[in-house]
Amino acid sequence: MIKSEISGQKNQSAFYKYVINNPKGFFSVREKKEYWKELTNDINGEFELITTVSRDLDKLQIRCIYNGIQITFSETDTKPLLIQATIQSEQLKDFYFEITKGDFIERLLSKLSKRVITLNNSKFDKDYIIKTNNKDKTFRFLDSKSIVDYLLDSDIFYIEGKAQNNNTDFTLMFNVNREVNSYEYLKFIQELFFSFIDNLNKL
């Protein structure tokens, strides 16, 4: 269901002139509106296009419920796609992991950390660095060829799962790059996020 859409053309403020003349790091998300709406309908969510008071910046946002868990998708003109959810689970209490794309130097330095693990998948271990405080749980929820293959086909540069304040609230977060420029790719990322939730709930 489409909740609301705050429209308006950008004015010629000093900030807007700056980002137009310095486009690095600035991408207009308004062009993505239609396929964000399409995904919203698919997952029975609520869509918003939010514009700042000065009408300089736009933000796309979808809220939906999946298996009783509220999920938020957001992307702005200055920040890439972010997906977040909070899972309530005793099994995830105190659990932490992060999966990041790293270059050669980062992978080399990561070998010095006791919290870094590998999946014995040469391509995945070459592209990603996994840090965790519980290797057994991390191996179990990543023990899925579909999730590993999905990650290799995606361009997600940071994934984090973290228990909050030693209680049963566990936050899952995806940071994706700016290349989510079609409905098909956005749907792909959404399905991957839902798969993470499913696997975490099985722990």
pTM (two decimals): 0.81
The residue that leads in pLDDT, 14 or 155, is 155
CB atoms within 10 A of CB 62: 22
Q: Is the pLDDT of residue 199 over 70?
A: yes
The mean pLDDT of the chain is: 82
- Both tokens assigned to 185: 């790719």
pLDDT tens, 137-167? Answer: 998 888 777 788 888 888 788 999 999 886 7
For the ranges 88-97, 100-109, 182-191, which has the lowest average pLDDT?
A: 100-109
Residue 196: per-residue pLDDT: 94
Residue 115: per-residue pLDDT: 57
d(CA 7, CA 167): 40
| Structural domain boundaries, residue 193 | 87-203
Residue 27: per-residue pLDDT: 83
Burial class (CB in 10 A: 0-12, 13-18, 19+), 25: exposed
Do both 114 and 133 map to the same domain?
A: yes
Count of domains observed in the chain: 2
Do both 73 and 157 map to the same domain?
A: no
CB atoms within 10 A of CB 87: 20
94: left (phi over 0), alpha (psi -120 to 50) or beta: left
Percent residues over pLDDT 90 in the chain: 52
Do both 36 and 115 map to the same domain?
A: no
Do both 162 and 96 map to the same domain?
A: yes
Residue 169: per-residue pLDDT: 94
CB of 118 closer than 8 Å to CB of 126: no
Do both 170 and 110 map to the same domain?
A: yes
Residue 157: per-residue pLDDT: 85
Sheet holding 69-76, edge to edge: 2-5, 46-51, 58-66, 69-76, 82-88, 169-176, 156-163, 96-101, 128-132, 116-117
pLDDT band at 129, cuts 50/70/90?
confident
pLDDT band at 179, cuts 50/70/90?
confident
Residue 52: per-residue pLDDT: 80
